[in-house]
Each structure stands twice: as C-alpha cells, then as structure tokens.
Structure 1
Amino acid sequence: MKSKGKVYLVGAGPGDPGLITVKGRECIETADVVIYDYLASPALLKYAAPTAELIYVGKKGGDHTLPQDGINALIVEKAGGGRIVTRLKGGDPFIFGRGGEEAEVLAAAGIPFEIVPGVTSAIAAPAYAGIPLTHRDFTSTLAFITGHEDPTKADTGIHWASLAKGIGTLVFFMGVKNLPHITRNLMDNGMAPDTPVGLVRWGTTTRQESVFGTLENIVERVRAAGLKAPSIIVVGKVVTLRDTLKWFENRPLLGKRIVVTRAREQASDLVKRLTDMGADCLECPTIRVAPPEDWRPLDAAIENLAAYDWIVFTSVNGVKFFFRRLFETGHDVRALHRLQTACIGPVTAETLMGFGLKTDILPENYRAESVVDAFRGQSVAGRRILLPRAKEARPVLPVELTRMGATVDEVTTYQTVQVRDNAEMLVGELADGAIDMITFTSSSTVQNFKALLPEGEPLERLLNGVTVASIGPITSDTARELGFTVDVTAESYTIPGLCDAILAHYQRL
C-alpha cells in the first residue's frame, strides 16, 4: 500500500518575491508538486526542483482555472499518491485565502499537513504605500474585512455600524468592484464623509499604484484612474501619513517595463539593480552561455601553460570556463604560477581574484582597445600570450598584440548559443506597447534579439516608443548596424554603469 504524502499550505506573500518566508521557500524547494495561485509571484517557482510538477489553479475576477472543490480534490489526489505537495497561496493562507477549507479537506482525508503563514497583503500593501495600519496618534484598533460580499444578498455578515463607529482602521480585501457599496454603508452608519481612504493595487510589486481620497469622493477618483483588482482598500486617519511616509513609489524607475536580454545565468545582477530602482524586469535571455564544441584546443593550451608568459581574460565567462576546465583536467591554480595576467573590467578581475589570482593589468576602459593600450607599456615582443575567450569574440585584441610582436594563441573557451524560448511572448509584449526599454549587454545579445523578431516586420513599428539601452559603444555600434536606434549608451561599460545611464536617461525626461 502506497503511503500518503504530505501537504504544506504556504503563504506566498503579497507579491514581492523577497517577502516569502524562509520556511515557505524551503517547502517550494522540497516539493514534488507545487500547486499555485494567481496572486503567488511566478518568480517563486524558480526555487522548485527541476523534477517538480507545477500546476496553476489561479482565480481572478470570476475567471477560475479550477473551482475550489476541484482544487481541494487535486491536493488530496497528489498527496494521496505519496507525494510532497506545496500549496502556494497568495498572502497568508488563513486570511481570506480559503486555507482553512483546504486544511479541513486534508484532515478529513487523513493526509498530514502543515500551515506556513505568509505576509498578508493587508499589512504589506499599505506598508509599501507608506500607510501604517496602527499609530499611537491615530488608532489602536484594526479590522480586516472581505470586500467581496455580495451586495444583493438579504443578510449581510458584516456589522457595518460597529465598523463605522468602533474601529480606527479598516482594511478591505477584494473590494474594488464593491467600493460604492462599501463607502455608502460606512457613511450610512455614521462614518464621516471626509474620512481618508486609500487603494493600493498590486502592492509590493513594481506595478504598484495608489489612489487616495475620502469616503465621499474615492469612488469617482478610482473610476477616473481606472484602478482595478487586485487592490487593498484602507479606510481611516492613518491614510493621511501617506504623504510623509511613502517610500516605495518614490523609486525612480517605478512602473517602467524593461527587457533584460542577458543570458539567464548572468542576468541576476542587472535584474536586481533595476528592480531595486522600481523597474518591472522582463527576463528574456536571447543567449545561453555554453561550453565549446571541442575542448581539445583548450586542453592542449592548459597542458602547455608553462610555455606562456601572459594569459588575458576578456570576460567573466572566460575566467569561469577556463578554470572549470583547468580543474576538470586535474590541475589547479599552481599551473599558472609563472604567468602574468590581464583582465578587461573590474568584475572580470574580481572573478579572477576569486580563484586566488590578482590581475597585473586592469585598463581604465573596459574594452579590447584599452587592453592593447595597456600592453604598450609592456615588453611583449617575442612573448607568448594565451587568450581564452568566446568563439564569437572581436579580432582587435589578437591582431594588435600580434602587431606588437607577441605570439597570440586564441582559444575558444565558451560560446554563446541563441535562445528562443520567450520569443512569442516578447513579440506579443512589444506589439501591445507594454515595453518601455530593451537592454543590450553585448553584441551577441543584439544579434540574437534581432533574430527573434518576425521577418519583414519593420523595427520602427515594433519598437515604436521603446528605448534602447546599451552597455557600451561596441554593443551600440552593433545595434545601429542592425537597424536599432540606440538611446542610451553607458559611459562605464559595466552593469552598474548601464544602470546609472538608464537612471540618468529617465531623470532627464
């Protein structure tokens, strides 16, 4: 007889994936099956094991992928088969999350379960909008209320008179559609028409937007702003602190949708920096970094390291793939003990330092021409230089070093491979005008991005209103050659430099 599995009812938090609890993340990592909701951040799914089954059961605005009874049955079925199930629910599972109902079903079926609380949107969304729900100068009482109650039913489960006169701060879930009903009931039961009200949509995410007013005018203001679900409604004097305490919506790139084309394994730094400034990043890697088709040339160079005077690294990938192969072939860093080193860029130098080697040359500008200039102060005539780098790299460096009298062995250490996984989604977003900016971090990202676009579709039409940002002049030149209009070029050819250039661009607007 197959043993029963176990279910973790996990609160995924309010939208910001950074607000998942440590235990919640562990439950995602160890699950055989993850059953997730509409309001659970998709970014959390990256923590799931590659073998995990991911099942979406989202519900929004009456559009139910699966009704609640079906969700209950699905959880029981998966766990009943002996699997570990993580039921990932937006916010907290026991605060208007129907987690209690799911737990009752599991208890009746005799399936073990645990409850993992989450950060509820009722607290987090107002906090991200600068609204403390309690404050000693305003109120010490707080109530959470469903805003989804049917206004046409004969008997209400909400005691409006008590809410209107006895509670300092009211927080309504899922109440945008019923906002006229909510405000009318509060005023009819004695709450002052000038009581402050705030609505926060997509709280804690880069799509967050807020509308403020009073009980008597908030319905019209929300209608004028076009604010829709999912939104949290806050009623009470604490809302007036918003102007003093708002912090999240002050971020300079809030609401900007920016495409990151960098390889997924390298995109995290760029995504984090842009997200920290408020941008909504759409990861659409156009390349994947892969090993060379044939390791033999690099293996031969590694076996012959004693014959070289210099080794030059032109990228972080070059460093990582070189040392990976060095170790795989049975060597260690002592094999480079007599070589001098040069790096393009501080991040490459930092990566090299991670393997215990300090670079001897670090040019002021992070491009091949600057390395050549730096070598002009060295005696390289008759010296042998090993250049482990990408298959598609520019020829400037080996050509110029050879002209200076050096013998240069250029060895393919890695290659970039085109990725088309998100092509359809990307083109759709561009066609819908949902993209504000596209970032390019290398010539290969430009080339492969262009290859993703439909043939015959004019770039001007597809990229109408889209800003193009490049990490440096070489990448910008490639983009222009392929028909792109480049609006932003970083002066410092690094990820921080690119982010600074993007920020400066939007601050000028």
Structure 2
Amino acid sequence: MTGETIGEVIGDANEAKLPVLAIMRPESYREKSEALARDYGFESFYAPMIRLEDMKDEEFEPFVQRVLEGVSDYVIFTSANGITFTLDKLPEGKRESFTEALKKSRVIAIGPNTEKELVKIGVEKPFLPGDYSSEGIVEALCPEVKGKTVDAARSAYGSRLLIEGLENCGATVFETKVYTLTIPEGELQKELIERTLAGEVSAFAFTSSMMVRGFMKQAEKMGAGEEVKEALSRAVVGAIGTPTANTLESLGVNVDAVPGEFTFEALLEVLKKKL
C-alpha cells in the first residue's frame, strides 16, 4: 500500500462514517460541546445560532443591594451565564462581598451546570429542583415561599412562568436581566443551512427556543424555510426541555429526542440512541 497502513485506512473509513451533529450553542460553549460530541461518536459542525451579550437593567443595583443587605430570602440563577454576567458587572472589591452574602440566602440553581458554576465561586450547596426547568423551580419552592423575597437573575428572554408561578405562590419576586441573546448571521450559519438541505447533517441539538428561531430565521432568509423543515424530518432532531420541543413542533418540525435530564450531555446520549 502506498505509504498507508491497513489500520490507517480502516481508521479513515470509520472516521468518514461518523454521524454529523449540528452544534448551535454560543461560542463560550463550543470547546466543551465539541469534546462531548467526540466522546459520543459524533463529528460536529459548529454554527452558533445564539450570541450572548451583556446587559444591565435598572433592577441590577437594587438586586445587588438586596443580596448584600440580606433582604433576598431566595436567589435564583437559571443558567451558569447568569452567574458570570452578574459577577462581571460588579467592581472587583464588591464581588467577594456579594458572593459571601449569597451564601446567607437560599441559592437555587436550575440544573447541574449552574450548580457547578455556583460551587466554583464558593456557594457550596445550592438547591436543585427535581425537574431542571422554571416549572420545576416553581413546583419545588411553592410550598415555602409565601411572604418571602425572591430574586431571579437571568437572560432577557427568560420564561414568565418562573416569575408568575412564584408570585402566585405568594412570593415577592424581583427579576433582573443580566444578559441578552441575539441571533448571529454569517457564513457559518449559511453553511449549516446549506449542509442541512444537502442531507449532510445527521442530528441536530437544539438547546433553546431562541436557537430554534435563529436557525429558522437563517433558513427563511435564504428562501428555504419549508425545504429546511423537510430536511430536518430526514435527520434526528433533539431538544433540551419541553419549551424548546414545543417551539420546534409549533413550526412543524418533529422532535425525535428529549432527554429526561436537561443537559447537553444527556441530549447527546438520547440522540446517539436514536441514531
């Protein structure tokens, strides 16, 4: 054989057969997501359909003061990003006192990734709901929040179910928007749609409703809104959480896989099984 061993040829053939997974998460998740995809036997194609951007609304300073003064009985973070964007807005000297004050409140993490970020900053035992979702948080906290003050730091696109649900349970709820989401458009996004239409993508990992909207917006911009839905029907479509799955279904896209645990790794696991 011309310089190649049999093992190398077989290895190249096996690599060529790997299913292609579309990863559309924000840039900050790219490295970890691609590593997980490799672990689960996928070749990944990365094209972010969401961009995270810092924002500071008028509720931010009052939120910080409530935590520092011990007014907040509960502080809820619905993503690891919410923690990062909160701390990044604080002056360096205030960051440590804010973190110390957090420990005196009951801190809620929506899921394992958010929990890990809290532990990293010294909040060692945040509470996780049984169901990693806004509905799960409301269900877990409802029996105990009547008359309590609850702060939620999250994105500008957070579900109203969390705020309204806790208010209906008798809590005083303050929402602080610490970052926002935008939809990037460029060559990567265009290429993902083209490869989808060509049937070159085996599986799609949708992790939020905003991501779904970004994907469909790009397809429609290219005049391929209906064609891309047909192409998705020939692939395996996965969604983290019921809201994301519902958004896809409302647009006429059948969802093949929704993990029981709302994590990216759990989504890869169910996608792999479906394939």
- Same-fold call, TM > 0.5? yes
Residues 289 and 200 from structure 1, CA distance in 2 versus in 1: closer, same or farther, beyond 3 angstroms? same
Partner of 1:303: 65
Match status 1:321 vs 2:85: yes
Q: Deviations over 1:105-146 (max 9, x none)?
A: xxxxxxxxxxxxxxxxxxxxxxxxxxxxxxxxxxxxxxxxxx
Q: Distance in 2 between matches of 1:474 and 1:497?
A: 17
Gaps of 5+ in 1: 1-169, 174-196, 210-248
Q: Distance in 1 between matches of 2:173 and 2:57?
A: 19
Q: Which structure has the bigger radius of gyration? A: 1
Match status 1:364 vs 2:135: no
- Bigger share in helix: 2
Q: 2:26 aligns with which of 248, 252, 263?
A: 263
Alignment check: 8 A CA contact 1:469 1:502 kept: yes
Q: Distance in 1 between matches of 2:273 and 2:105?
A: 41
Question: Counterpart of 2:120 in structure 1: which amino acid?
Answer: G
Partner of 1:390: 155
Partner of 2:263: 494
Q: Distance in 1 between matches of 2:29 and 2:110?
A: 17
Q: Distance in 2 between matches of 1:202 and 1:261?
A: 30
Q: Distance in 2 between matches of 1:340 and 1:364?
A: 16
Residues 453 and 202 from structure 1, CA distance in 2 versus in 1: closer, same or farther, beyond 3 angstroms? farther
Calculate percent identity across the aligned residue pairs: 23
Question: Counterpart of 1:476 in structure 2: which amino acid?
Answer: A
Residues 349 and 408 from structure 1, CA distance in 2 versus in 1: closer, same or farther, beyond 3 angstroms? same
Residues 202 and 272 from structure 1, CA distance in 2 versus in 1: closer, same or farther, beyond 3 angstroms? farther
Please show how residues 244-255 of structure 1 align to structure 2 within 5 Å: 249=14, 254-255=17-18
TM-score (norm 1): 0.49
Residues 463 and 496 from structure 1, CA distance in 2 versus in 1: closer, same or farther, beyond 3 angstroms? closer
Q: Deviations over 1:53-74 (max 9, x none)?
A: xxxxxxxxxxxxxxxxxxxxxx
Match status 1:475 vs 2:240: no
Size of the alignment, in residue pairs? 267
- Distance apart, 1:501 and its partner CA: 0.6
Q: 1:400 aligns with which of 151, 160, 165?
A: 165
Partner of 1:172: 3
Q: 1:410 aligns with which of 153, 175, 195?
A: 175
Partner of 1:218: none
Q: Distance in 2 between matches of 1:453 and 1:202?
A: 37
Alignment check: 8 A CA contact 2:163 2:173 kept: yes
Question: Counterpart of 1:198 in structure 2: which amino acid?
Answer: I
CA RMSD of aligned residues (A): 2.3
Structure scoring higher RCO (CA < 8 A, sep ≥ 6) equals: 2
TM-score (norm 2): 0.88
Q: Deviations over 1:205-251 (max 9, x none)?
A: xxx30xxxxxxxxxxxxxxxxxxxxxxxxxxxxxxxxxxxxxxx4x9
- Distance apart, 1:346 and its partner CA: 1.6
Q: Deviations over 1:289-312 (max 9, x none)?
A: 1101x3542123213322221101
Please show how residues 197-208 of structure 1 align to structure 2 within 5 Å: 198=6, 200-201=8-9, 203=11, 208=12
Residues 329 and 445 from structure 1, CA distance in 2 versus in 1: closer, same or farther, beyond 3 angstroms? farther
2:260 is paired with a residue of what secondary structure? Answer: coil
- Distance apart, 1:377 and its partner CA: 3.8
Residues 331 and 461 from structure 1, CA distance in 2 versus in 1: closer, same or farther, beyond 3 angstroms? closer
- Distance apart, 1:279 and its partner CA: 1.2
Partner of 1:21: none
Q: Distance in 2 between matches of 1:395 and 1:285?
A: 25
- Distance apart, 1:391 and its partner CA: 0.2
Partner of 1:166: none
- Distance apart, 1:419 and its partner CA: 1.0
1:358 is paired with a residue of what secondary structure? Answer: coil
Match status 1:275 vs 2:38: yes
- Distance apart, 1:200 and its partner CA: 4.1
Question: Counterpart of 1:350 in structure 2: which amino acid?
Answer: K
Q: Distance in 1 between matches of 2:214 and 2:25?
A: 10
Question: Counterpart of 2:135 in structure 1: which amino acid?
Answer: E
Question: Counterpart of 1:344 in structure 2: which amino acid?
Answer: I
1:453 is paired with a residue of what secondary structure? Answer: helix
Q: Distance in 2 between matches of 1:354 and 1:460?
A: 41
Q: Distance in 2 between matches of 1:464 and 1:341?
A: 41
Q: Deviations over 1:384-406 (max 9, x none)?
A: 11100010011111101111111
Alignment check: 8 A CA contact 1:343 1:359 kept: no
Question: Counterpart of 1:491 in structure 2: which amino acid?
Answer: G
1:271 is paired with a residue of what secondary structure? Answer: helix
Alignment check: 8 A CA contact 2:118 2:126 kept: no
Gaps of 5+ in 2: none
Q: Distance in 1 between matches of 2:229 and 2:146?
A: 49
Partner of 1:213: none
2:89 is paired with a residue of what secondary structure? Answer: helix
Match status 1:504 vs 2:273: yes
Partner of 2:232: 463
